[in-house]
């Protein structure tokens, strides 16, 4: 009845297009912090719509959830974020994106070198810079040796 009892999780899901289960999962990952009503149900602020939108955008950019949590920590905790607050963290998002683009372009240049010589030998290829992680994620060690195949 009161004007601001907050949004139920289903309503937030509708507004953002996320699944209810995903929103709960994001909470478990520390990306969003609803309060609980008398009955123990989650209630969200309107500003959380924007917060989740930001999460989705950052995901499109290839950030992991921990990385997104990190970026979101740049928002003020004590008040509703202003447009300027959002703008600031969007800028930090943009620098992430710039880095990814840079990396890919360097990989491309390296590949071009390889195509030029036709040898596909590791010392000359992109792979020889294993720290260039264009790869999304994945577990386990994948170390590289600089080994030139001899045929």
Binding site for DNA (CB under 7 A): 8-11, 13, 19-22, 24-26, 37-42, 59, 64-66, 137-142
Nearest distance, CB of residue 126 and DNA, angstroms: 16
Q: Token pair for residue 143?
A: 């170390």
50 binding a second copy? (CB under 8 A): yes
Min dist. Cβ of residue 122 to a second copy (A): 5
Using CB under 8 A, pick the residue from 7, 54, 68, 71 that binds a second copy.
54
| Cβ proximity to a second copy, 70 vs 98, nearer residue | 98
**In this structure, how many other beta carbons lie within 10 angstroms of the beta carbon of residue 20?**
14
Question: Among 7, 16, 23, 71, which residue sits at the site for a second copy (rule: CB under 8 A)?
Answer: 16
Residue closer to a second copy, measured from CB, 77 or 83: 83
Closest CA to 63 of 33, 44, 89: 89
Q: Residue 4, exposed/middle/buried by CB under 10 A (0-12, 13-18, 19+)? A: exposed
CB of 6 to DNA, least distance (A): 11
The vertex-93 CA angle with 62 and 96, nearest 5°, equals 60
Q: How far is the CB of 137 from DNA (least distance, A)?
A: 5
- Nearest CA to 58 out of 75, 41, 45, 46 is that of 75
CA distance 44 to 34: 5
């Amino acid at each position: 009845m009161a004007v601001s009892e907050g949004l139920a999780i289903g309503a937030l899901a509708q507004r953002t297009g996320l699944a209810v289960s995903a929103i709960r999962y994001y909470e478990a990952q520390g990306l969003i912090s609803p309060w609980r009503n008398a009955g123990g149900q989650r209630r969200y602020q309107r500003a959380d719509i924007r917060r989740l939108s930001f999460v989705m955008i950052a995901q499109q950019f290839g950030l992991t959830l921990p990385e997104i949590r990190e970026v979101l920590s740049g928002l003020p905790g004590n008040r509703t974020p202003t447009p300027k607050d959002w703008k600031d963290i969007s800028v930090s998002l943009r620098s992430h994106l710039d880095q990814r683009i840079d990396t890919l372009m360097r990989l491309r240049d390296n590949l071009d070198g390889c195509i030029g010589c036709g040898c596909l030998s590791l010392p000359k290829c992109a792979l020889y810079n294993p720290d260039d992680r264009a790869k999304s994620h994945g577990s386990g060690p994948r170390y590289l040796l600089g080994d030139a195949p001899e045929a």
